[in-house]
Structure 1
Amino acid sequence: MITRDFDAFLLQARATPADVGPACAKAAFIVAPEAFRLAEQSASDNRYMDLDIEVGADRALAQHRGLQLAMSQTLPTLCFPGHVDTPDALFPNNVFATVPGRLILGHMRHPVRQREVERADIRGFFTKVLGYEEVDLRTQSGVCELTGALVIDRARGLGFAGLSERCDEAGAAAMHAAFGLRATLMFDLAPGEYHTNVVLSVLAGRAVVLAPSGFADKAAAEAISALYAPHAVVLDAAQKNAFTGNCIALAEDQCWLSQVAEASLRSEQRAALREAGFELVAVELDEIEKAGGSLRCCVAEIF
């Protein structure tokens, strides 16, 4: 099922067991922010970027290295080099995604990001080393920026596709099929929002963090919250802008987010995450966040 009907989705989702596979990835890869700079094309529809601010390449590299060192204590974490001509490559989850045995290639909106899909080293690692089959979504017309646009409950095979300039209905349908999902809910993001994973995160299949202000129709946020109740953490607009919704469960008991995002949480929200079984792990990423994404955007999961 792929639908915009909240009630129909909830009916099926609530009856769907958590038996698809692991809720969290077995490994991950990241891409270094070489010659860190802001991409003008990406800034055209990413309001979290400001081309007038200065960015520090050395500091971004150091923070990225710190992210890899921290992540490696939880799961195997590979780092591929970045390239000067692909400044957004440090956010590989929009371009590359996996299910067991398959590497999925996204259909990116901007030419500067379309170049990333051609990476022979990343694709070769999956096809030649791991023996994964490629599923190339560039062959269909829909725009679909993978796990930036689509938030997935891996345990139950549920998808949440926020539609924007970075993902249309055709692209959502292509991702629904490529990821082999049981049910996907489509909804419009609020004007100015570019990716779903900035306003929504499903943590290990049992909790949700979301910002209703990032949804065009608040009923969509309410439906998703109801599905994961009582483990639903609702963010205000300021927390959304601090990338608090751009968090990820890298282990069944760990919620990872940036230091800025973690600092924005209120005491009752921290308690709600603890009650859901999550320890908060915060990493310094404020320089990288100037590029319009945060911790979850940096992580390409390997299933």
Structure 2
Amino acid sequence: MTQILTTPLVAPVRSARTRHYVMCPPTEFDVVYSINPWMDPSTAVDRELARAQWQALQDVYAGLGHRIDLLEPVAGLPDMVFAANGAVSVADRTYGAAFAFPQRQAEAHAHVDFLRAAGREVHRPAHTNEGEGDFLVLRDVVLAGHGFRTTTDAHREAEAALGRPVVSLELVDPRFYHLDVALGVLDDGHGDGPADIAWFPAAFSPAARRTLRRMFPGALECFEADALAFGLNFVSDGRNVVLPAEATGLAASLRERGYEPVPVELSEFVKGGGSVKCCTAELHR
């Protein structure tokens, strides 16, 4: 498995599409408990640097022409900055989150209030799930992770709530506890070409690997070093791929495939187990 073997000989021309993102300022961000392998409360967060890094990410999106709505942080909820985990939205439908750990459960209510105030229909879940952390939206399908934070019962519930087929993918490596740290959507298929992903096969069960290789035979398979640098926790508008600066190998491979890597520094947020995508919810059309 190499990135070189999955790189097309002739890179296609990629087209960006304006996106609608939701972000939550990191005024409450800190690491005060441990609910994933990346979190260590004894390692201090530089909160001033975190605010600067988050602002730089927001500025990148604005510079690319995307719409950004801000979710108001709630005191005592340090992980709310990871806005992607609060729901998954397609068109006018939203499937809300039900967090696996009690430390984050109050976040779900804040997301519901925000989304309903924006005029969206929100389906409150009966089953444990963590929003776009484990649900990644493409034009014709939703890819859904399970094994750590989201149940397969939630996959079926989301399918009904969103009106979109859901493909279940089992995660097996606790370092990749959410789907969005093991797989990223490069092109959601709304343009002229097919949907395109990048992923780290070792994070998935053998059955999930077979499914992904059948669905995306030309997908970019990421090196472990780039995956561990949260390289797959990126945000793509179909051309510009905003990703951690440390994922240099992945950036080079993306460039060969016709994408434009946009590196950012989010080192403080990795201490909480997240990076670009975790900080970015998308309201999909």
Task: Please indicate the TM-score interval, normalised by the length of the shorter structure.
Answer: 0.7 to 0.9
Deviates more, 1:200-209 or 1:175-184: 175-184
| Residue matched to 1:286 | 267
Alignment of 1:69-108 (within 5 A): 69-74=59-64, 75-108=66-99
Alignment of 1:131-210 (within 5 A): 131-137=119-125, 140=126, 142-153=127-138, 155-156=139-140, 158-205=141-188, 206-210=195-199
CA shift digits 1:172-226 (9 cap, x unpaired): 2112222222242332433453101100112222211101121132x42243134
Q: CA separation in 2, counterparts of 1:183 and 1:143?
A: 16
Q: 1:148 is aligned with what amino acid?
A: G
| Gaps in structure 2 of 5+ consecutive residues | 1-15, 189-194
| Residue matched to 2:225 | 238
Alignment of 1:211-230 (within 5 A): 211-217=200-206, 219-230=207-218
Q: CA separation in 2, counterparts of 1:110 and 1:241?
A: 23
May I ask how many residue pairs the two structures share in their alignment? Answer: 262
Instruction: Name the Cα RMSD after superposition.
Output: 2.2
Would the aligned equivalents of 1:208 and 1:225 in 2 still touch at CA under 8 Å?
no
CA offset at residue 49 of structure 1? 2.1
Would the aligned equivalents of 1:24 and 1:204 in 2 still touch at CA under 8 Å?
no
Q: CA separation in 1, counterparts of 2:84 and 2:170?
A: 20
Q: 233, 241, 251: which is aligned to 1:255?
A: 241
* Residues 222/94 of structure 1: CA separation in 2 closer, same or farther (3 Å cut): same
| Residue matched to 2:250 | 265
| Residue matched to 1:12 | none
Identity within the alignment, %: 26
Deviates more, 1:54-63 or 1:164-173: 164-173
* Residues 214/248 of structure 1: CA separation in 2 closer, same or farther (3 Å cut): same
CA shift digits 1:140-180 (9 cap, x unpaired): 1x211121112222x12x22222123111112211222222
Would the aligned equivalents of 1:146 and 1:175 in 2 still touch at CA under 8 Å?
no
CA shift digits 1:82-136 (9 cap, x unpaired): 23310000111111221211233111111221111222xx5444323x3211211
* Residues 234/164 of structure 1: CA separation in 2 closer, same or farther (3 Å cut): same
Q: CA separation in 2, counterparts of 1:79 and 1:297?
A: 14
Would the aligned equivalents of 2:37 and 2:174 in 1 still touch at CA under 8 Å?
no
* Residues 183/172 of structure 1: CA separation in 2 closer, same or farther (3 Å cut): closer
Would the aligned equivalents of 1:213 and 1:236 in 2 still touch at CA under 8 Å?
no
Secondary structure (helix, strand or coil) at the match of 2:243 reads strand
